Amino acid sequence: MSISSVWQGIELPATSEWVEFEHESGRRLRRPAFWDGGDTHRVRFAPPLAGSWTWSGGELHVAEAPTDEANPFYRHGFWRMSPGGRSLVHADGTPALLVADTAWALPWRATPDQVREYAADRQAKGFNAVLLMTVQPDMRAVGPRDRTQDEGFAIGFEDLADGHLNRMNVEYFQYLDVLLDILVEHGLVPVLQPVFHGFGWKGLDVAGTVVPPSEYAAYCRYLVARYGARPAVYLVGGDGSGAEPQTAAGGAEVHAADCYEQPTGIHYRPHIRARAHQDADWLDFQWCQTGHTGEHVPERVADMWRNEPVKAVANGEPTYEHTGRTGVAEGWWQGHEAWSNLCAGGTMGVVYGAGSLWQWRLHAEEPGHSDFFLAPGAGWREAIDFEGSTYVGLLGKILDGVPTTDMAPDWTRTISGRALSTAEGGLIVYRENGGPVMVFDPTVPLGYTIVDPRDGSVVATGKRDTPQSPLPDVGGAPRVYICL
C-alpha cells in the first residue's frame, strides 16, 4: 500500500489493542487501536519517515513531503517540546510558536460548514491552534440533541450526566473526526481537553472532577488513539487546581500511549498556584489564566517561568474580548496582552478568546448562557470579527522565521521595554509606546527590524553604528524591535 507522504495519517483495521509499525531503518512506533462502533476497531498511523513501513497487516510505502506542501505539520512534522523545554518545535526542529484561539464548545455545537468558515478566518489571521473541550462537560446541561437549535448540543457519553464515561456515543466522535479534519486542513492544531474541571460550558457541575480517574485515563487513551495520528496538543487538566486525580491519571496515560511525543500539560483556573506535578515526566507545559476582568497581569506568567523543573509556560486564557459587557478587553488590549505575556516568560505562545465565541453561541439572541461571559449582541459569527483577534494572530506572523526556540525573558540587555533573548543571542523588545531603546550588551546584533505590531508593517530597518547606539524610533505607538 502506498501513502502520499510523511505525516499524512492513514486508517487501518485493527485486530489487537496495540499495533506496531516498523520502518526499514529499524525505528518502531506503537499506536493504540480504538473502537469505532459494533465490532469495528481501527488504528490510525502517521509515518514520520519516508520509505517502507511494515505492520501485522502488510507493508506501507511512504513518500517524502512534496516541496510545495503548504501545511507546516505535513512539511515539518507534528509539534513537540524544544530541547530546553521552554517552547515548541516541529519534529524536524523548525521553531514554532503557539498562537491559539479558544473555541471551547465547537466540538458539540458547530457544524462542518460553520467550522470551515471559522477555520478560514483564523488561518488567515495567523492562528495555528484551537482550545477545545472534547465533550460538553456540564452534568446538568439540558437541551435538544441538535446543533442547529437554541441550547442544543451533541452528546459524547450517554452517562456523563451521571459522572461516568462508559457509554460512548461513537457517532459523536465520527462527527468530531470531520470537524477536526477541517481544522487541521487549515493548519490549526486541536488542543484537546478531555472533560473540563472548572466552569465548563454553563457552569453546571462539571464531570471532570467526578468521573473515576480510571475512566478519565481510558478516555485520554481513546483521544490519543483516535486523534493522535494528526497534529494535537493534550490539555489533561482544564480550569482546575491541577491536583485533581483525573489530571495525573490522564497525563500518565497520554504519555504512555502517544508515540509522537506531542505536548501534554495543564490549564489552571486563575486563582491557583500553577505548579502541580511540576516534576512529572508526562508534564510538558503549564498554562495559567490571568483572569476575566480586563486587567493585564503578566506577573502570573513571570511567576510560573521560575518554577522548576523547567516546563513551558503560556497564558492559556486572557480576558475574553467583550466578555460580559461591550468594551471589555477590546481591540489593541488583546495585542498588548499577548506581547506582554510572551515577554514575561510565556514563550510557548499566546492565546486569544472572545465572548460568545467560546460558547459557540448560535446567534446573538440565543438564551441559556451565563451573561457574565457572553459578548452582548453577538453570536459566534459576530465574535470571530472582533478586532482583537487580528492583533493576536499578527504576533505569530511577525515572529515567523525568527529563532524562537527556547528564547527567554531578559532584563539585562536593555533598559527599556519587555525583552526576550534568543538562544543564538538575538534580542526581541516590545514597547507599548515605542521610542528609542538603549542597548547595554555589546553582543546584541547591530542589525535591526522595527515593526508596528498593530498591522505587522515594518517601520524601519537598519544597522546601528556601534554596540552602544540605541535602536531608533520616534515613539508614540506600539513597537516590536527585532535584532538578529
Pair type for strands 129-133 and 189-193: parallel
- Cβ partners under 8 Å of residue 124, min gap 6: none
Residue with cell 525573558: 409
pLDDT 10s digits, 154-172 = 999 999 999 999 999 999 9
So what's the pLDDT on residue 255?
A: 98
* % of the chain at pLDDT higher than 70: 100
So what's the pLDDT on residue 8?
A: 96
So what's the pLDDT on residue 416?
A: 87
pLDDT average, residue stretch 270-297? 96
Look up residue 67 and give its amino acid. Answer: T
User: Which segment of 219-223, 312-316, 398-402, 415-419 scores lowest on mean pLDDT?
Assistant: 415-419
- Cβ partners under 8 Å of residue 127, min gap 6: 99, 100, 101, 188, 352, 389, 392, 393, 396
pLDDT average, residue stretch 428-445? 97
2: pLDDT strictly greater than 80: no
pLDDT average, residue stretch 132-156? 98
The pLDDT-based confidence of 3 (bands split at 50, 70, 90) is confident
Rounded distance between C-alpha atoms, residue 396 and residue 96, angstroms:
9
pLDDT 10s digits, 165-199 = 999 999 999 999 999 999 999 999 999 999 999 99
211: pLDDT strictly greater than 90: yes
Pair type for strands 51-55 and 58-62: antiparallel
Q: Say how many C-beta atoms besides its own lie within 10 A of residue 315's C-beta.
A: 26
**Could you tell me which of 384, 371, 362 has the C-alpha nearest to residue 153?**
362
pLDDT average, residue stretch 381-401? 98
Q: Across all residues in the chain, what is the average pLDDT?
A: 97
1: pLDDT strictly greater than 90: no
So what's the pLDDT on residue 4?
A: 80
Give me 221's grid cell: 487513551
Round to the nearest angstrom and report the end-to-end CA distance of the chain: 46
**Could you tell me which of 165, 174, 276 has the C-alpha nearest to residue 221?**
165
So what's the pLDDT on residue 386?
A: 98
pLDDT average, residue stretch 346-375? 97
Asked if residues 48 and 162 have their Cβ atoms less than 8 Å apart, the reply is no
So what's the pLDDT on residue 158?
A: 98
Rounded distance between C-alpha atoms, residue 44 and residue 33, angstroms:
7
471: pLDDT strictly greater than 80: yes
So what's the pLDDT on residue 468?
A: 95
